[in-house]
Structure 1
Amino acid sequence: MRSITSLAAVAALLLAATGCGGGGGAGPSGPTAKDPTTGKAITNSKGEAVSVEAANKFKNAMDSMVQHDKAGDWNEASCRSTAELFLDAADEQGDKTFAEAIYNAGLAYQRCKNDAEAKKYFQQALQTNPKFHPARVQVALYNLADSGEKNIDKAIAEMRQAAVVDAQYKNVEALVHLALLYMKRGNNEPDSDGPNDFQRAKRYIQSALAVDDAFMPAFNQLAIYYLETAKQKAGRKSGKSVATNVSKQKKVDTQALELAALVCSQAIRKNPNYAPIHNTAGMIQVELANLNGAVQAFNTARKLDPTFYEAQMNYAAVNLQFRGFQQAEEAYRAALRMRPNDYDAHLGLALALRGQIDDSNFDKYVAAASAELDAAKKLAPERPETYYNEAILTQEYKAKSGGKAAEGALQSAKGLFGQFIQKAGASAEFADAVKRSKERMEEIDQIIAFNKQTEAERKAAEADLKTKEAEQEAAAGAEGEAGAEGATQ
């Protein structure tokens, strides 16, 4: 699940601390900070006054975070140092009451994907103030991820607590995450929020947009809602975030897709620099069979955010469909830099490399494609796709030498097709590939039989030739002897 957190929550907290540094009043550990615009005391999430020193330290920490965000230079050291600035602000406030500062320390660690430290401080912020809903959102997402995304009912309950009870519909991130979770679960049980999960999701997306009509994650989720609804109406499974070949799938209603596309276009007009909306637009174009438009949208998304895994994978997958093998290779490698142990990226890279094999790079690219398939097989030994594609590589390239020398490679390919059929089982997803595999196995048997017959015929022809040569030599010798006898007489 791609997180939509971080920047929006930080912006809200930054506004709460803007202008920190004014004096006056008795605070928890010194003078109370005041907002220079209103003259009112700056308070934390519990409504407690924040001291001038704590507010100043918080502002310095925010300045550091914003600076690193703009520079895009987050690393382990900058994450730690920024987090420590926020924790210094919390310590300055004293009595562990500054939930915002502790929460932002977690956000700082999240910037460099130090999830263990991030989760620790999100939990601490929630313990500091159980009604601090931004922290509850983050903890709920981490707990869901830790469960392998199985404890979705618990995650929905926690997100609803954050969005509805604690935030009173004012936390747009919580509302959008709640909608996303409902769509992910997708059950049809009615409750007080609506007749089914998809209708509940729509309600909370609309609630988020009612609070903030420029909140891009809400626009993006609304577009995804219409896209997934269209798939459901067509009897298609929803939930895939990476583009697949839809040419053989049941087509979805074009009108519904155009509604999704309209939401994307409106959102892009509001903020053309938000990468996820371009990725969603690309997914819609894939469904509309506009692959050129899809490639452009995915490419825009990955250029805006080179760390956007789904955009890289989508760009690669669509390029594969019309033989853009070099572009696909580049994008799959970018995805693997983010997720080195990703099965789909290794498999996709193997296909992109196989598509580029020619006489000039034959040995190098066959070996490289084979290595990627080996990596994929180690990561997910039960996934059928690897065996099918390894069989193709073996039959069409490793057995290229032909004749007797190719028999071992052909037998290996036949065995791999057999393994694919066994692992694919009765899955409808692989039905066509299973049929093709059986045909290829028969083809391999015919090739081997033909090669053996040809070899036998060759040997028979060689033996016949030797016999004829021997007979000719014998006949020539007899003629020579007869000539010699005649001369003697």
Structure 2
Amino acid sequence: MACVFAACATVRPEGPEGTVQSCFPGLVGEPELDEWVATLRRHEARGWSEAACAEATSGLGRLEAEFGPRARSRAAVGLVAERCGRPDEAEGAYREALLWDPDACFPRVALALASMREGGEGPSGEGRDRAMAALAEAVRRDPTCTLALSHLAALQSQDPALHDEAIANLRRTLAFDADSAQARDQLAVIYLRQSAEAPERLQMAEVVCRQAYRVDPRHAPLFNTWALVAVARGDLSEAVAKLERAVELDPALYEAHMNLGQLTLSQRAYADAERAFTTARRLRPGSYDAAVGLGVALRALGRPAEAERVYREAIARSPERPEAYFDSAVLHHEHLEGTVAQLERAEALLGEFVARATESHRAAREATLRWCAPGARRCRPGRAQNIHDSLVALGERSEEERPPWTR
């Protein structure tokens, strides 16, 4: 189950991208501010270290002391605070920016995304609905706010019923900013998602990726999306090459590391998968999916103790999810010594998996629970029956003592 290539498209509505230029269009060209704006852009590109946070914070303080606060400078204070892990300070600065200019694009987008983080994260989460409403309001106040349009489209793209609206908003974005590689990338993601039911959309996704490449050949998320298009075309070698280019351009691109891990796992390149999932976990220590992927790679590399530790961490983090129970059951069933205790542990873990499996896990659940009558022909016992039969053969139970959850 864990070897299925579950693609991660790079639609990341959790934080504004390209924010410095969006935040400071009116300041660029003012000689006394050019050096400071360049410094902020440098930190945005290279990452926000403790030293970078201190430099930007003090620089903004001097800026506002000399020229007075304004909407864009307050928004910049919010940006720095957000990047430096001070969300309450960031929200306060964004709200102050709107007092100076209620129609300001960037602070409205930032507050919209903050409202999403406060609520649910799924397709129907309250936070997502709040964010979409706030982004729509930002567009109403400033129809040229491409930052709001692109983030609104990113959220809409997660719901197939809203794909047409997302495409319309991305086209509006491109009408105002024809050089937006991010908008073209998101458009390709939507076409890729639609290609499952409309195969001709796959070619459209490929065309849009090529257009985005001509606009910005160093836009890392594009290569992640392009890799998924290659997977859909069945060209796995090209997909690996595109993902490697994505992480070369942006080593912090979590989705690309995850996709690289899943793809190399499916190709049985387990050492490569281990590296990719390890990096993904470093980028997002709380990632359940990265932990499960790493566990599968470690298991295949013959390092069961490490795999078990990672599975335990995943289960402790998200006990309601079924995947780690299944993969840990496989570990105890197939990759250890086959003792009675290990078989019983594998069986218990399978029971936990079955109890939590959803519709998306139906195939794995059915394969687990398949039970063949004695002497049945053309019937392949499922994993639960295989474990049961092993325990019967070891004299630990009778044939009739199968677990209730298998009936």
Give the equivalent residue in structure 1 for 2:251. 306
Distance in structure 2 (CA, Å) of the matches to 1:76 and 1:117: 16
Shift of 1:267: 0.8
Distance in structure 1 (CA, Å) of the matches to 2:85 and 2:190: 28
Distance in structure 2 (CA, Å) of the matches to 1:399 and 1:340: 31
Instruction: Give 1:275's aligned amino acid.
Output: A
Is contact 2:152-2:166 (8 Å) kept? yes
* Secondary structure class of the residue paired with 1:66: helix
Give the equivalent residue in structure 2 for 1:474. none
2:379 maps to 1:446: no
Distance in structure 2 (CA, Å) of the matches to 1:129 and 1:291: 49
Query: In structure 2, do the counterparts of structure 1 residues 449 and 270 end up closer, same or farther at CA, with 3 Å as the change threshold?
Result: same
Query: 2:93 aligned to 108, 111, 121, which one?
Result: 121
Give the equivalent residue in structure 1 for 2:402. none
* Secondary structure class of the residue paired with 2:158: helix
Let me know the Cα RMSD of the aligned residues. 2.3
Query: 1:411 aligned to 344, 359, 368, which one?
Result: 344
Is contact 1:214-1:270 (8 Å) kept? yes
Give the equivalent residue in structure 1 for 2:271. 326
Shift of 1:263: 0.3
2:194 maps to 1:221: no
Distance in structure 1 (CA, Å) of the matches to 2:129 and 2:390: 56
The within-5 A match list for 1:54-65 is 56=32, 58-65=33-40
Shift of 1:423: 2.2
Is contact 2:270-2:300 (8 Å) kept? yes
Give the equivalent residue in structure 2 for 1:53. none
Query: 1:85 aligned to 44, 52, 59, which one?
Result: 59
Higher relative contact order by CA 8 Å / sep ≥ 6: 1 or 2?
A: 2
Give the equivalent residue in structure 2 for 1:182. 156
Distance in structure 2 (CA, Å) of the matches to 1:382 and 1:127: 43
* Secondary structure class of the residue paired with 1:418: helix
Give the equivalent residue in structure 2 for 1:159. 135
Give the equivalent residue in structure 1 for 2:27. 17
Shift of 1:11: 2.4
Give the equivalent residue in structure 2 for 1:385. 323
Query: 2:228 aligned to 261, 266, 283, which one?
Result: 283
Shift of 1:339: 1.2
Query: Normalized against structure 2, the TM-score is what?
Result: 0.84
2:98 maps to 1:133: no
Instruction: Give 2:18's aligned amino acid.
Output: A
**Larger Rg: 1 or 2?**
1
The within-5 A match list for 1:27-426 is 56=32, 58-69=33-44, 72=46, 74-94=48-68, 96=69, 98-149=70-121, 150-151=125-126, 152-163=128-139, 165-168=140-143, 170-187=144-161, 197-231=162-196, 234=197, 253-357=198-302, 365-400=303-338, 406-424=339-357
**How many residues are matched?**
370
Query: In structure 2, do the counterparts of structure 1 residues 178 and 128 end up closer, same or farther at CA, with 3 Å as the change threshold?
Result: same
* Secondary structure class of the residue paired with 2:217: coil
Distance in structure 2 (CA, Å) of the matches to 1:154 and 1:73: 29
Give the equivalent residue in structure 1 for 2:8. none
- Higher deviation after alignment, 221-230 or 144-153: 144-153
Is contact 1:399-1:410 (8 Å) kept? no
Is contact 1:298-1:311 (8 Å) kept? yes
Is contact 2:64-2:73 (8 Å) kept? yes
Give the equivalent residue in structure 2 for 1:436. 367
Query: In structure 2, do the counterparts of structure 1 residues 434 and 182 end up closer, same or farther at CA, with 3 Å as the change threshold?
Result: closer
Shift of 1:90: 2.5
* Secondary structure class of the residue paired with 1:398: coil
Distance in structure 2 (CA, Å) of the matches to 1:393 and 1:256: 40
Query: In structure 2, do the counterparts of structure 1 residues 157 and 409 end up closer, same or farther at CA, with 3 Å as the change threshold?
Result: closer
Distance in structure 2 (CA, Å) of the matches to 1:130 and 1:16: 16
Is contact 1:343-1:379 (8 Å) kept? yes
| Structure 2 unaligned blocks of 5 or more | 1-10, 370-381, 397-407
Give the equivalent residue in structure 2 for 1:2. 12
Is contact 1:4-1:217 (8 Å) kept? no
Give the equivalent residue in structure 2 for 1:250. none
* Secondary structure class of the residue paired with 1:184: coil
Query: Normalized against structure 1, the TM-score is what?
Result: 0.71
Shift of 1:328: 0.9
- Higher deviation after alignment, 106-115 or 264-273: 106-115
